């Protein structure tokens, strides 16, 4: 950038009309550089930023589409409702619980799997491919399979296996689970952990494979225990990959709609904010309220995203410095 | 655990192994060999556990309805294509084809649009970077961090006002905006791999922009473009919330069809599994083909 500018401004100094020509050329060059960027930038601003500004405006309005004559400015009323209404407050709580538990569980299991897959063994490629499968099933389809083929209390696979195992011991009264009605949030969490663990595993595996092996080998030569190597070499190296996986996972899982919609339809305290917002505007037609809830999600995501940005930024800087 | 435990087996390694191990890598691999068998078994067990729901879905889809809904499960039941015939509407009369075609249209066209917008943008962010290009990158990223629900109401109201509800073209635009930030990030990381020396050499030789693009940038960037396209396709194919809110009878996509199909058909397990297999098939193929690129795309190009 600087070299280019220097090269262009130099002949300007010698010319009769010194700076003006050079400056306009410089400006033209800058625009020539920007031009390829503009379509994408403008498109995104129009399609994502403008609607959010409108959401922000609607969030301060009293607007139920079923009674359009009562539409008026409402101040912070909607926000007060979002934070005090038991259902919406429950949805905030559910969103946090769901996101945190799914991210942590899939990170821990994903780390375990990544460490296993980092070793050489027969059929490693195939095992990895099998492990990725949960991530590749279309989310709605995955949720349907969990609901009907696995967790169904009468003929789901899980109860089926329980029946089979118990019958091996001659028992006709096996324990049967009904997770969907007894612990519905648990059902959602399990299916999401199943789906997101492969993602964490792949990120962490990429981290493990970029680990400088010479230090590990040196430590091994010095007689360090595997645990010490893991604790003092592997884990610090993986840190930013763990952060990246966790924060990206959080951003995707906060927004989860498919699993909640399909598995429980938001029943029994499983409605997270995306689902609650969908219901508030799609069925209850409470536009103001839905918008306020949407803004609350964005504020929450910004908090998470600030950390995410920092992590991504550190990876990014590393690359830029290369 | 003390340091003694792992040291003990190391002492037991025959001196021959030590002697043949001037390459340190060779020796360090000698040690964990025994662990590897254990790790391999553990990994395989876990892999089967994780894949079990998928394998079960595929198996059940080839069973008859009576064999599918048994407790305990009938693994050895006869295989049949009935559920697939049923799903494709041979008997029920509800065809999934319009929904599948809508999904394919929305996914493919939005992917093309994304590439048309993202490739020049990535060029402006990597090869001849604009000033403050990192800020621009983070702007793109920040739009991805905004949950869809926070903008969906205005989009819905806008579509309703201009008559774009249940219109596949509006959905295509939405999917384009959904995938564009990821595509820009991915493409930038791929284009950044083009060696600067080659670009400089081309410039010195007097190659014009088009020639440089064709001869130097395209060959390096092609695999990246393919990977980006795959990921955009997968995301669009999987999307439910936008499609659910913005489409209906005419423009409904496969995920929307699937949710309606289940509630409308009651519980026919084999058929539900067949439906899930059919709509997951394109993604499964695409995903297996591009396993590594998948992470890179999902992690916005931050992990290589």
Residue in A48, A207, A224 closest to B146 by CB: A48
A120: chain B residues, CB-CB within 8 Å = 29, 36
CB of B282 closer than 8 Å to CB of B236? no
Question: Hey, of B33, B50, B69, which one would you mutate to test binding to chain A, going by the most A CBs within 10 A of its CB?
Answer: B50
B53 and A113: CB-CB below 8 Å? Answer: no
A161 and B72: CB-CB below 8 Å? Answer: yes
A251: chain B residues, CB-CB within 8 Å = 144-145
B131: chain A residues, CB-CB within 8 Å = 1, 30
Chain A CB within 8 Å of residue B149 CB? yes
B153 and A309: CB-CB below 8 Å? Answer: no
Which is more confident, B13 or A200? A200
User: Minimal CA–CA distance to B110: which of B122, B118, B98, B100?
Assistant: B118
Q: Provide the pLDDT for residue A270.
A: 81
* B194 Cβ contact partners less than 8 Å away, ≥ 6 residues apart: B126, B127, B216, B217, B220, B221
> How far apart (Å, rounded) are the C-alpha atoms in residues B55 and A62?
50
CB of B219 closer than 8 Å to CB of B198? no
Chain A CB within 8 Å of residue B186 CB? no
B51 and A134: CB-CB below 8 Å? Answer: yes
DSSP state of A68: G
Q: Is A40 exposed, middle or buried (0-12, 13-18, 19+ CB in 10 A)?
A: buried
Structure tokens at A260: 């909640």
Among A81-85, A121-125, A182-186, B107-111, name the most confident range: B107-111
Length of chain A: 322
> How far apart (Å, rounded) are the C-alpha atoms in residues B271 and B64?
9
Asked if the model's pLDDT at residue A13 lies above 60, the reply is no
pLDDT tens readout for residues A237-283: 888 888 888 888 888 888 888 888 888 887 777 888 888 888 888 88
A130 and B155: CB-CB below 8 Å? Answer: no
Residue in B71, B147, B295 closest to A298 by CB: B147
Residue B236 C-alpha from the chain's centroid: 10
Q: Provide the pLDDT for residue B50.
A: 92
Q: Provide the pLDDT for residue B116.
A: 93
Chain B CB within 8 Å of residue A36 CB? yes
Nearest CA in chain A to B10: A223
Beta bridge partners of A62: A72
Mean pLDDT over B108-132 rounds to 89
Asked if the model's pLDDT at residue B84 lies above 80, the reply is yes
Q: Which helix (H) or strand (E) holds A62?
A: strand A61-62
Question: Hey, of A91, A134, A141, which one would you mutate to test binding to chain B, going by the most B CBs within 10 A of its CB?
Answer: A141
pLDDT tens readout for residues A201-223: 988 988 888 888 888 888 888 88
B68 and A36: CB-CB below 8 Å? Answer: no
A297 and B155: CB-CB below 8 Å? Answer: no
Q: Provide the pLDDT for residue B11.
A: 38
Dihedral angle of Cα B111, B112, B118, B120, to the nearest 10 degrees: 170
Question: Considering chain B, what is the average pLDDT of its residues?
Answer: 79
Q: Provide the pLDDT for residue B300.
A: 67
pLDDT interval class at B34 (50, 70, 90): low
> How far apart (Å, rounded) are the C-alpha atoms in residues B37 and B42?
9
* B300 Cβ contact partners less than 8 Å away, ≥ 6 residues apart: A248, A312, B141, B144, B181, B182, B185, B186
B180: chain A residues, CB-CB within 8 Å = 40, 43-44
Cis status, amide bond into B72, omega within 30 of 0: yes
Chain B CB within 8 Å of residue A169 CB? no
Among A67-81, A203-217, B95-109, name the most confident range: B95-109
Residues 119-148 (B) with a CB less than 8 A from some CB of A:
120-121, 123-125, 128-131, 134, 136-148
> Which of A179-183, A185-189, B23-27 shows the lowest mean pLDDT across its residues?
B23-27
Sign of CA dihedral B81, B59, B72, A143: negative
Question: Considering chain A, what is the average pLDDT of its residues?
Answer: 82
Residue B117 C-alpha from the chain's centroid: 20
pLDDT interval class at B265 (50, 70, 90): low
Q: Provide the pLDDT for residue A142.
A: 92
Characterise A17 by phi-psi region: left (phi > 0), alpha (psi -120 to 50), beta (else): beta
Asked if the interface predicted TM-score (ipTM) of this complex is over 0.85, the answer is no
Sign of CA dihedral A278, A279, A284, A289: negative
> How far apart (Å, rounded) are the C-alpha atoms in residues B87 and B13?
61
Beta bridge partners of A73: A61
Asked if the model's pLDDT at residue B65 lies above 50, the reply is yes
CB of A260 closer than 8 Å to CB of A274? yes
Q: Provide the pLDDT for residue A163.
A: 83
Mean pLDDT over A137-159 rounds to 86
pLDDT interval class at B3 (50, 70, 90): very low
Chain B CB within 8 Å of residue A319 CB? yes
A308 and B118: CB-CB below 8 Å? Answer: no
Nearest CA in chain B to A160: B72
Chain A CB within 8 Å of residue B246 CB? no
Residue whose entry in the numeric block shows the structure tokens 């920092």: A310
Phi and psi torsions of A61, nearest 5°: -115, 155
Could you write out the DSSP letters of every residue in A132-201? HHHHHS-HHHHHHIIIIIIS-TTT-HHHHHHHHHHHHTT-S------HHHHSHHHHHHHHHHHHHHHHHH
Mean pLDDT over A40-54 rounds to 90
DSSP state of A17: S
């Amino acid at each position: 950038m600087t070299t280019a500018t220097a090269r262009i401004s130099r002949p300007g100094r010698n010319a009769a009309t010194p700076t003006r020509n050079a400056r306009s050329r410089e400006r033209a060059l800058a625009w020539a550089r920007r031009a390829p960027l503009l379509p994408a930038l403008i498109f995104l601003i129009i399609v994502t930023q403008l609607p959010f500004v409108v959401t922000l405006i609607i969030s301060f309005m009293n607007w139920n589409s079923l009674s359009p004559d009562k539409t008026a400015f409402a101040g912070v009323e909607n926000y007060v409702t979002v934070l005090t209404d038991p259902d919406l407050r429950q949805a905030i709580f559910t969103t946090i619980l769901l996101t945190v538990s799914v991210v942590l569980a899939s990170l821990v299991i994903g780390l375990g799997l990544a460490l296993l897959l980092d070793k050489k063994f027969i059929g490693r490629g195939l095992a990895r491919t099998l492990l990725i499968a949960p991530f590749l099933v279309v989310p709605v389809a995955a949720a349907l399979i969990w609901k009907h083929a696995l967790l169904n209390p009468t003929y789901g696979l899980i109860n089926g296996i329980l029946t089979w195992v118990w019958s091996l011991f001659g028992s006709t009264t096996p324990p049967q689970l009904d997770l969907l009605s007894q612990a519905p949030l648990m059902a959602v969490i399990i299916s999401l952990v199943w789906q997101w663990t492969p993602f964490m595993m792949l990120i962490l595996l990429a981290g493990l494979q970029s680990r400088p092996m010479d230090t590990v080998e040196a430590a091994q030569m010095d007689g360090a225990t595997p645990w010490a190597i893991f604790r003092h070499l592997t884990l610090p190296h993986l840190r930013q990959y763990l952060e990246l996986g966790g924060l990206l996972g959080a951003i995707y899982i906060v927004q989860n709609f498919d699993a909640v919609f399909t598995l429980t339809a938001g029943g029994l305290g499983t409605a997270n904010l995306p689902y609650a917002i969908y219901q508030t505007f799609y069925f209850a037609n409470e536009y103001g309220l839905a918008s306020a809830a949407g803004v609350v999600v964005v504020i929450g995501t910004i908090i998470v995203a600030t950390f995410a940005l920092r992590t991504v930024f550190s990876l990014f800087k590393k690359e830029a410095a290369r | 655990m003390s340091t003694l435990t792992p040291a003990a087996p190391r002492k037991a390694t025959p001196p021959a192994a030590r002697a043949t191990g001037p390459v340190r890598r060779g020796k360090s691999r000698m040690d964990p060999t025994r662990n590897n068998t254990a790790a391999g078994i553990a990994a395989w067990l876990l892999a089967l556990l994780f894949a079990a729901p998928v394998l079960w879905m595929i198996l059940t889809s080839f069973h008859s309805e009576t064999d599918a809904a048994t407790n305990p499960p009938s693994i050895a039941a006869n295989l049949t294509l009935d559920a697939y015939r049923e799903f494709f509407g041979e008997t029920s009369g509800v065809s999934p084809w319009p929904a599948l075609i809508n999904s394919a249209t929305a996914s493919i066209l939005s992917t093309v649009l994304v590439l048309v917008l993202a490739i020049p943008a990535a060029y402006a962010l990597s090869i001849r970077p604009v000033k403050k290009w990192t800020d621009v990158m983070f702007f793109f990223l920040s739009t991805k961090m905004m949950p869809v629900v926070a903008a969906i109401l205005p989009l819905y109201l806008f579509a309703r006002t201009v008559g774009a509800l249940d219109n596949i073209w509006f959905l295509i635009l939405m999917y384009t905006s959904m995938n564009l930030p990821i595509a820009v990030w991915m493409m930038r990381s791929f284009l950044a791999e083009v060696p600067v020396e080659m670009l400089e050499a081309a410039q010195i030789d007097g190659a014009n922009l088009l020639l440089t693009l064709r001869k130097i940038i395209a060959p390096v960037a092609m695999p990246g473009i393919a990977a980006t396209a795959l990921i955009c396709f997968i995301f669009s194919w999987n999307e439910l919330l936008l499609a659910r809110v913005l489409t209906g009878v005419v423009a409904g996509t496969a995920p929307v069809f699937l949710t309606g199909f289940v509630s409308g058909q009651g519980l026919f397990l084999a058929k539900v599994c067949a439906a899930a297999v059919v709509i997951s098939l394109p993604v499964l193929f695409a995903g297996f083909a591009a396993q590594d690129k998948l992470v890179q795309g999902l992690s916005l190009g931050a992990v290589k």
